[in-house]
Amino acid sequence: MAFTMGLSELIEADTSGMLAKHSSWERVPLAEVASILNGAPFDSAFFSLTEGMPLVRIRDIVPGETNTRYTGPYEDAYLVEPGDLLIGMDGDFNSSCWRSSVALLNQRVCRISPDEAFYDKELLALVLPGYLAAINANTPSVTVKHLSSKTVGQIELPLPPRAEQARIVAKLEELLSDLDAGVAELKAAQKKLQQYRQSLLKAAVEGTLTSAWREAQRANGAPIETGEQLLARILRERRARWEEKQLAKFKEQGKPVPRDWQKKYPEPVAPDTTGLPELPAGWVWATVDQLSEFVRNGLSKTPNTEGRGFRIFRINAVRPMAVNGAAIKHIEISADEAVGYWVEHGDVLATRYNGSIDLLGVFAMVQGLSARTLHPDKLIRMKPVSGPDAGAWMALCGNVGESRRHLVARAKTTAGQTGISGDDLKRTPIPLPSLTEQLVLREMVDEALRAVSSLGQSVERGCSEFCV
């Protein structure tokens, strides 16, 4: 739909300050200080990707470059030069100065050529977006919004004296240069925070973060269960639980206990330490399989978005060390079909498939679920066995260091989806310190990550306000 509001009315209703002017200035309709040229309806039969003249289409205004070329006849009047001011006449009404080589002006794009004896082109380029944004915000739409060159020509620009226009542009360029420098610093700060976060997690899983703590424990002579002793205890208790369940099953079925039944115990896969780095004293390599009661794929039924049935996680619910409990769909299955797929506090979820390698095989521990939720086939569920919060250590390790390298190296791409197998996940190496050191590490990491998050939010607020 088109803009129907009066331009004077639009300026009067503005509260942003972007349409204001100094009380000593007049206003002038854009058409009186600039020529407006609508693009030509070039025949798409002559469009090409490899030869002909570059053609500026509406989608090319913001990036300032085009991949479309035109091989047919054209008039020189529709040539766009570098630096020409262009406006997109559909959609968001974007404007920008053309940054590429000479091109042709396609339909639904218009070129604004100010008479620089009356209006500075750079000032016009700075002032115009505020008016276009206000017009866009006040244009009703059912489908695509449309802007007419008539409306553009009626825009009532502030008109400072010509010499003052030049001074305004010079001052704005100075201020914008300072702003650009500030934006660059904010983006550099974001990158440094990300690098620090990764360095922190790496130091945690390699044991360097708690090296001073371990020295203090040795000096105190405090007896602490080592990672090797912890793993041995986990494996004993894991087997004991299996045997207890098997005996209960035999009893329930009224069957005698078979001879050598204990030999059927499914031993968890041990780590392949070939090529793995040496761990600190008191640490040991384990696997996800050894540290989990089970490693299980989720439900492969197709969910719905209408809210019918049980809650089930979306694949994007899992990000490194974070589970978004609100990222759900629903699935209509019976209660019996859902048994064994309910996610519980302390479970660790990992992404089994993803279009991005960066989000494949990432780990996160489930905590604080507000309602019972199932897990889908594209997520793998692990239940750590050494305590209700043991998953926090597994989730940390799974996203960094050797654990992460193991999974990335085994990723396979099929039909545009990158995936890992449950067997690869079971074999993922996990560095295992004592439970006491795990707790110390988690406290140190959590405290540091809170500080990083606080700084990150401040930087993000700065970027959202100033970064384009």
CATH number, domain of 112, equals 3.90.220.20
Same domain? 13 vs 144: yes
User: What is the distance between the alpha carbons of residues 134 and 10, in angstroms, rounded to a whole number?
Assistant: 7
Same domain? 425 vs 358: yes
**Tokens encoding 74:** 């054209």
| Single residue among 128, 160, 192 that ends a domain in this structure | 160
Same domain? 355 vs 409: yes
Question: Does 467 score more than 60 pLDDT?
Answer: no
231 domain residue, yes or no = no
- Helix count and strand count (H, E) for the chain: 13, 24
154 domain residue, yes or no = yes
User: What is the distance between the alpha carbons of residues 383 and 400, in angstroms, rounded to a whole number?
Assistant: 20
| Cα separations in angstroms, 208 against 194, 199, 200, 441 | 19, 11, 10, 10
Same domain? 174 vs 199: yes
24 domain residue, yes or no = yes
Q: State the pLDDT at residue 465.
A: 56
Q: State the pLDDT at residue 218.
A: 85
Same domain? 149 vs 197: no
| Cα separations in angstroms, 412 against 74, 220, 429 | 50, 49, 19
List, for residues 348-360, the tens digit of each pLDDT value: 999 998 888 888 9
Q: State the pLDDT at residue 461.
A: 64
User: What is the distance between the alpha carbons of residues 449 and 318, in angstroms, rounded to a whole number?
Assistant: 18
Question: Does 1 score more than 70 pLDDT?
Answer: no
Domain count for the chain: 3
**What does the pLDDT average to over 126-147?**
87
Mean pLDDT of the chain: 90
Same domain? 30 vs 172: no
Same domain? 429 vs 442: no
Same domain? 189 vs 59: no
List, for residues 25-61, the tens digit of each pLDDT value: 999 999 999 999 999 999 999 999 999 999 999 999 9
Same domain? 124 vs 197: no
- The fraction of the chain above a pLDDT of 90, given in percent, is 66
Q: State the pLDDT at residue 255.
A: 87
**What does the pLDDT average to over 99-121?**
96
235 domain residue, yes or no = no
232 domain residue, yes or no = no
Same domain? 181 vs 253: no
Question: Does 82 score more than 60 pLDDT?
Answer: yes
List, for residues 312-326, the tens digit of each pLDDT value: 999 999 999 999 999
Q: State the pLDDT at residue 8.
A: 85
Q: State the pLDDT at residue 50.
A: 92
| Single residue among 160, 176, 211 that ends a domain in this structure | 160
Question: Does 464 score more than 60 pLDDT?
Answer: no
Q: State the pLDDT at residue 388.
A: 59
230 domain residue, yes or no = no
Q: State the pLDDT at residue 139.
A: 86
Q: Band the pLDDT of 381: cuts 50, 70, 90.
A: very high
Burial class of residue 225, CB neighbours in 10 A (0-12, 13-18, 19+): middle
User: What is the distance between the alpha carbons of residues 103 and 52, in angstroms, rounded to a whole number?
Assistant: 10
| Single residue among 130, 160, 190 that ends a domain in this structure | 160
Instruction: Please enumerate in sequence order all residues whose Cβ is within 8 A of that of 107, keeping only pairs 6 or more positions apart, or say none.
Output: 38, 39, 40, 41, 42
Q: Residue 214: which domain range?
A: 164-224+435-468
Residue type, 97: C
List, for residues 247-301, the tens digit of each pLDDT value: 999 899 988 888 889 999 999 999 999 999 999 999 999 999 999 988 889 998 8
1 domain residue, yes or no = no
User: What is the distance between the alpha carbons of residues 146 and 140, in angstroms, rounded to a whole number?
Assistant: 10
Same domain? 61 vs 94: yes
**What does the pLDDT average to over 139-168?**
90
Please indicate whether residue 196 or residue 164 has the higher confidence score (pLDDT): 164
Same domain? 277 vs 424: yes
306 domain residue, yes or no = yes
